[in-house]
Structure 1
Amino acid sequence: MATVLRSLCCLIILHVSNSPLAFSQEENQFVYHGFSQANLHLGGIAEIHRNGLLQLTNLSKERTGSAFYRFPLNFNTTSSGAISSLSFSTTFVFAMVPQEPNMGGHGMAFAISPSMDFAHATSNQYLGLFNLPNNGLAANHILAIELDSVKNPEFEDIDGNHVGVDVNSLKSIQSAPATYLSDKEGRNISLELVSGNPMQLWIDYDEAEKLVNVTLAPARMSKPNRTLLSTPINLSQIILGHMYVGFTSATGYPLASDHYILGWSFNRSGQAQSFDVSSLPRLPPRRKRKEKPGLMTITSLILAAVVLVTIIGAAYIIRRKKYEEIREDWEMEYGPHRFSYKNLYKATKGFKDEQLLGAGGFGKVYRGVISSSNLQIAVKKVSHDSKQGMKEFVAEIISLGRLRHRNLVQLLGYCRRRGELFLVYDYMPNGSLDKFLYSNGRPSLNWLTRFRIRGVASGLLYLHEEWEQVVLHRDIKASNVLLDAEYNGRLGDFGLARLCDHGTDPHTTHVVGTVGYLAPELTRTGKATTCTDVFAFGAFMLEMACGRRPIELQGQPENVILVDWVFEYWRKGAILDASDPRLEGNYVVEEMILVLKLGLLCSHANPAARPSMRQVMQVLDGDANLPDVPYDTASLCTFSNYNASDFLLSLPSSFGQRSAPSMSSTDSILKEGR
């Protein structure tokens, strides 16, 4: 009997050791050669392939994915109750496969976290770890090692291909370009994170020295002798008693990457086990490149080319005229941001009317698709006949192209051709908000969607305070708030935007903007500030809640100015009567009252009394109470102190049936200088 039992035990041990999924007997140690039977909690778009490959994110735009070991690990006490060491060791093999060669989206991170729930984390540069409000909070209790393939100035990233050590924030406490030490060559060799090739990362924490060591190498190499990063950290001040370990990842826009984990080993009480790389699951096959033609084929092609060269040459000369552009020497530095007119022409099918998305005071907007990357774009076609200020204008366009926020429409670049300027943006499939508020052909948005569109405030806070410069939008209105595929609001059209350094005053020479959104002091001084943007945002908030334009030319005189109209209901104690009747009362009362009162407060006639966008965000997020709105009508923007009559006389008769035009043009901007 004893002999049979011993034989049975040997068979069990042999089976476990040969299994692709093997655990140690200790609670806080595991190793996965593939994840088919892994104890993982998946979040976002993460999935496990049939061959055991763990995929955190795919080529879907602006999505997150996470995978964490399902059970919390004890970083506090041993089984006997004695204080344990905080030391740990882990290693994993990963691959980041870009949508376009060497042009991937955002990266991924290994994280130690008190929670596996990252549902509120943001995509793009936040790597599915944090969002704008909680990034940098000590209450996060998160240690992360990021593999970042995009340079984000707001986090002071060193480049677009680095490894960083993060504590409660994506602003790394230490980072280094992705390299490894080659023992054979005796030097550091660069690794491209988005090369699509498997790589291995080792992370070791020594509590005695309070040091995190991070090492990187190609997957089939043994661990290099020299670490990539060696960062002093006292983990006892960061992590809690029980923590989860795992991975997060995020994609961006317009490009994304597939993020994979092939194998993972973790040990809380010693060195993590090594991998048998040959037993790890294989990555999906890449797109096959076309084979180079043989010698005979090349010879035939050359002979055919000689016969056709004259015809092709003549046709080329004719076509050059068709796609001729304006290019000057100073534009060389903006190369990556300049689109060729030929590509834009083909993307929009020759700027045909069937591709037309809309038209306004600044020109027409066309939908297009860049065939090489299947990227959907919106192209604004603007006329200009002045060279004065063009260099400065393009410089600002390129600067604005570096803005990165989920509630801003991404400005991708520009093109110049003869008397035309083309601005290239992300395509927003659901168009502008005003079409849903005022078009009889579209269904009215419900309150849940409208209240979510308040996220535009987050984008405006980013422009005013969180980017490297202050960006004054100067034309906030419903027609410039575009809706993505999920009806999230994004602030777009930066044609009137102006940049200035933090702590300085912008120098403006004339009034620009749209009637109904212009702060009263702007009409007197012509000086745009963050306060004038806040005023326009207040008008936008009222417009969204009431379903009415800021200025209505139809109806009784007392109902012309929206701010006055809402304030009168507030004064009577019946502010909910100002809500959009199409909602039929289907809204959260507290949220509706908050939006209406906040819109009134942002529309205060005194700029100093208006809240900043940070205060607006705090109120919308429930982190601060809304100040009382005064009953004194003179303190708000009334018909008389707004000088609205001066503007109404100059408006076209069709204004009441469409969105108000902006009060400037690109041409005038260029003539005045920016």
Structure 2
Amino acid sequence: MANIKLEGDAFRSGNDVLELTKNQRDGSISESEGQASYNKTVRLRDARTGKLADFTTHFSFVVNALNASSYGDGIAFFIAPFEYELPDNSFGGSLGLFNAASNSNTSLNKIVAVEFDTHNNSWDPNDNHVGINVNSIVSVATVTWKSSIRNGSTANAWISYNSTTQNLSVFLTYADNPVFGGNSSLSYKVDLTNVLPEFVRVGFSAATGQYTELHTIHSWSFNSSLEVENQVKKKNKVGLGVGLGVGFGVLSCGLGLLWFIYWRKRGDGDQNEGLGDDLFMDDEFEKGTGPRRFTYRELTHATNNFDEGGKLGEGGFGGVYKGFLSESSTEIAVKRVSKGSKQGRKEYISEVKIISRLRHRNLVQLIGWCHAQGEFLLVYECMPNGSLDTHLFGGKIMLTWPVRDKIALGLASALLYLHEEWEQCVVHRDIKSSNIMLDANFNAKLGDFGLARLVDHELGSQTTVLAGTMGYLAPECVTTGRASKESDVYSFGVVCLEIACGRKPVDPREEQSKVRLVEWVWNLYGKGQILEAVDKGLSMQFDEQQMERLMVVGLWCCHPDPIIRPSIKQVINVLNSEAPLPELPSKFPVPMYSLLPVNMCIFSDTSLGHTGSTKDPTQCSCSSCSTYL
């Protein structure tokens, strides 16, 4: 609670909740105003790189009218400059956010808020509405709030911001056991870079006027993609991890900043656990930052000795197990590479050396690694909603159109980072729906970098080993074995069509004309009937223009000629309606293409396979090539 700043009439009540305005025990509760905010700065954007954070906040609250027939005025979640304070005389319809002076000169304001308004003022559409406010008490977007104010029911709200789409969305529910599936009750497109500074304050505000009610916050969490990166390098200390979690009442013990600090000495009885001929990996991996080395004992304890009951799935080179790190109260997923698998060992090395250096909100975070007892173990953040394919094909949860749209844009954002924004180009080589994980808010996170390769930005395709998964492989990869940014874009296009159509890229059960997803959708496109391929599970509840954009972009990405395919930057521009749709041939093109211009190094590889198979990894000695094989 020490990390919460209380202003005005806000106070902490005896039952460990926050009261934002006066309650009936205080006597008169009219013309009351109060704020409760986190008293440390929250980074909204990186001024150096210009990158804006994605964030999600979830809170439960009660607005209690005490059975009165007239009540007011409401509660709001706000983001403002850190120096922002509760304005004087901001009671009533101003909700504790503005006063007469700031309302009359909105150009001076820098604040974004989501209001849960309970009183119909002259600028409001009605009483009981949810509104998104930008620099003004007058909402830029509203929706009627079907509230349960009189009986004081508990509401749950999720507010999310996607910096790629610039979409601020709100989801509100009174369900007893609420589940957030990425849906929204209200949304508005706003570039927060133009409104708010780099560092901000986040919190709640509420007010009463002539009419009154009680405003109570019961729980709160806030998560942002811009994490503070602390790089602590000491000989016998592995790392310092920092996590921000805010919560109180029924969801946690107290309100404030939770510091998860873990110290780990080298060894701890592990000296004889490792593989003698793999000790070189320790030195290589420790050069990176972020992920840390775990002991084998830690991971067997975290996974209950790799209990089959906690198995999350089975990959090509081993199983994935759910685990729990008690020292940091963190859920993890542990990938256990099959013993004796040379290809698994190769992928393990590739994954640690590549993904440990990458930082992006749409990439699965590697937490740590371990090679001991003849095994290779990778530790990831746990993705509570599993992989995309389980929802599209497994009937786990029917994904709504807004969620599917968000997933496609999130995956595109991850590829833009890999292909163009990081210091080297990363070719993933295995983009598919089963490698796209979904976090608690159904944000897409690309994982499984075991086949990924580093390539200098000016170079083209850089491997002659067939790698990937059939159905997602670009035709030139099957013919030549060469992987490139263009072949990644092809795989992305297949996933776009999967998201839109809800079916796998190849389905032998379908009639002949529908077996191959890309060709089937392309033929419908040529007939002007592309929307007939849309997943029937959506029951026509989708934006037709946006859906058509996604499907046409998917076909564009899947053009047999890699030279005609778009860059991932072009993809994002079209999906965001910032560029027109391409004109594609009415018939599926014959797969005859020109080889990409390439400064090519040939490696000696002895076997091909479904996910690739090569000799032990080495780096090419060619001065122009930085590819790892």
1:451 pairs, out of 382, 401, 405, with 405
Deviation at 1:342, TM superposition (A): 1.2
Using a 3 Å threshold, how does the CA distance of structure 1 residues 402 and 636 change in structure 2: closer, same or farther?
A: same
After TM superposition, the structure 1 = structure 2 runs for residues 32-71 of structure 1, keeping only pairs within 5 Å, are 35-37=7-9, 54-55=37-38, 63=56, 66-67=79-80, 68=84, 70-71=97-98
Cα distance in structure 1, aligned partners of 2:5 and 2:352? 48
Q: How many residues align?
A: 429
Equivalent residue letter for 1:66? I
Residues 286 and 476 (structure 1), Cα distance of their counterparts in 2 relative to 1, 3 Å cut: closer
- Report SS of the residue matched to 1:586: coil
Residues 480 and 114 of structure 1, relative CA distance in 2, 3 Å threshold: same
Q: 1:482 to 1:334 in 2, by over 3 A?
A: same
Task: Give the distance between the partners of 2:428 and 2:282, measured in 1 at CA.
Answer: 24
Aligned to 1:504: 459
Q: Per residue, is there more helix in 1 or in 2?
A: 1
Distance 1:348 1:667 in 2: 31
Residue 344 (1) aligns with residue 279 (2): no
User: Aligned residue for 2:363?
Assistant: 408
Equivalence map 1:5-154=2 (5 Å): 35-37=7-9, 54-55=37-38, 63=56, 66-67=79-80, 68=84, 70-71=97-98, 121=161, 140=194, 143-144=197-198
Other-structure match for 2:285: 334
Q: Deviations over 1:199-255 (max 9, x none)?
A: xxxxxxxxxxxxxxxxxxxxxxxxxxxxxxxxxxxxxxxxxxxxxxxxxxxxxx982
1:552 to 507, 528, 535: 507
> Structure 1 residues 633, 36: closer, same or farther in 2, change over 3 A?
same
Q: Secondary structure at the match of 1:619?
A: helix
TM-score (norm 2): 0.57
Residue 607 of structure 1 aligns to a residue whose secondary structure is: coil
Q: Aligned partners of 2:588 and 2:350: how far apart in 1?
A: 43
Q: Specify the alignment match of 1:631 in structure 2.
A: 586
1:372 to 327, 345, 358: 327
CA-to-partner distance for each residue in 1:583-626, whole Å, 9 max, x for gaps?
A: 23222222222222111111011111111111111111121111
1:120-269 map, 5 Å = 121=161, 140=194, 143-144=197-198, 160=230, 255-256=243-244
8 A Cα contact 2:348 2:450, kept in partner = no
Q: 2: CA distance between counterparts of 1:437 and 1:611?
A: 25
- Within 5 Å, give how 1:432-471 maps onto structure 2: 432-440=387-395, 442-454=396-408, 455-471=410-426
* Superimposed CA distance per residue, residues 129-180 of structure 1 (whole angstroms, 9 cap, x where no aligned partner): xxxx99897xx26554689xxxxxx99x99859xxxxxxxxxxxxxxxxxxx
| Structure-2 residue corresponding to 1:664 | 611
Q: 1:434 to 1:602 in 2, by over 3 A?
A: same
CA distance in 1, matches of 2:552, 2:374: 46
Q: Does 1:423 align with 2:378?
A: yes
The AA in structure 1 aligned to 2:285 is Y
Q: 1:71 Cα shift?
A: 4.0
Aligned residues of 2:461 and 2:483 also touching (Cα < 8 A): yes
CA contact (8 A) 1:58 1:257 kept: no
Partners of 2:39 and 2:591 lie apart in 1 by 51
2:310 to 346, 355, 379: 355
Cα offset for 1:350? Answer: 0.6
The aligned runs of 1:576-595 (5 Å cut-off) are: 576-595=531-550
1:533 paired with 2:516, answer: no
Identity %: 38
Q: Distance in 2 between matches of 1:428 and 1:33?
A: 32
How far apart, CA to CA, are the structure 1 residues paired with 2:476 and 2:282?
A: 37
Write the deviation string for residues 332-374 of structure 1: whole angstroms up to 9, x where unpaired. Answer: 4634522221111111111111111111212111111111101
Q: Does the 8 A contact of 2:501 with 2:535 survive in 1?
A: yes
Distance in 1 (alpha carbons) for counterparts of 2:588 and 2:439: 38
**What does residue 606 of structure 1 align with?**
561
Q: Indicate if the aligned counterparts of 2:472 and 2:490 stay in contact, CA closer than 8 A.
A: yes
Question: CA distance change for structure 1 residues 58 and 469 in 2, over 3 Å: closer, same or farther?
Answer: same
Q: How big is each residue's C-alpha offset from its partner over 1:533-572, in whole Å with a ceiling of 9 and x where there is no partner? A: 1100111111111122111222333322111111111222
Take 2:485 and 2:545, find their aligned partners in 1: how far apart are those partners?
27
Worse-superposed segment, 350-359 or 382-391: 382-391
Does structure 1 retain, via aligned residues, the 8 Å contact 2:494–2:518?
A: yes
**1:424: Cα distance to partner?**
1.4
Pick closer, same or farther for the CA change 1:424–1:136 going to 2, 3 Å: same
Equivalent in the alignment of 1:652: none
SS at structure 1 position matched to 2:563? helix
Counterpart Cα distance in 2 of 1:63 and 1:394: 33
Partner of 1:491: 446
The residue matched to 1:407 in structure 2 has which SS? coil
How far apart are the structure 1 equivalents of 2:302 and 2:580? 49
* Alignment check: 8 A CA contact 2:38 2:256 kept: no
Residues 337 and 565 of structure 1: CA distance in aligned 2, closer, same or farther (over 3 Å): same
SS where residue 663 of structure 1 aligns? coil
Partner SS, residue 8 of structure 2: coil
SS of equivalent residue, structure 1 residue 634: coil
Structure 2 residue matching 1:368: 3-state secondary structure: strand
1:622 correspondence with 2:577: yes
Letter of the 1:498 counterpart: R
Structure 2, unpaired ranges of 5+: 11-17, 23-33, 43-53, 58-77, 87-96, 109-133, 141-158, 169-188, 202-224, 232-239, 248-253, 262-267, 596-607, 620-627
User: Is contact 1:601-1:629 (8 Å) kept?
Assistant: yes
| 1:562 aligned residue | 517
Q: Distance in 2 between matches of 1:431 and 1:286?
A: 26
Q: Which amino acid aligns with 2:482?
A: K
CA–CA distance in 2 between the matches of 1:418 and 1:633? 52
- TM (norm. structure 1) is 0.54
| Residue aligned with 1:35, SS | strand
Please say if residues 477 and 487 of structure 2, whose CA atoms lie closer than 8 Å, have aligned partners that are also in contact.
yes
Q: Which has the larger radius of gyration?
A: 1
Question: Which residue of structure 2 aligns with residue 275 of structure 1?
Answer: none
* 1:334 aligned partner, one-letter code: F
Distance in structure 2 (CA, Å) of the matches to 1:432 and 1:670: 29
Q: Secondary structure at 2:503's aligned position in 1?
A: coil
Tell me by how many angstroms 1:396 deviates. 5.7
The 1:145–1:485 alpha-carbon spacing in structure 2 relative to 1, beyond 3 Å, is closer
Judging changes above 3 Å, is the alpha-carbon distance between structure 1 residues 330 and 512 closer, same or farther for their aligned structure 2 residues?
A: closer
Question: Could you say what secondary structure the match of 2:523 adopts?
Answer: helix
* Contact 1:58 1:258 (C-alpha < 8 Å) held by counterparts: no
- Specify whether residues 160 and 419 from structure 1 end up closer, same or farther in structure 2 by C-alpha distance, changes over 3 A only: closer
Structure 2 contact 427–488 (Cα < 8 Å) conserved: yes
* C-alpha distance in 2 between matches for 1:341 and 1:557: 50
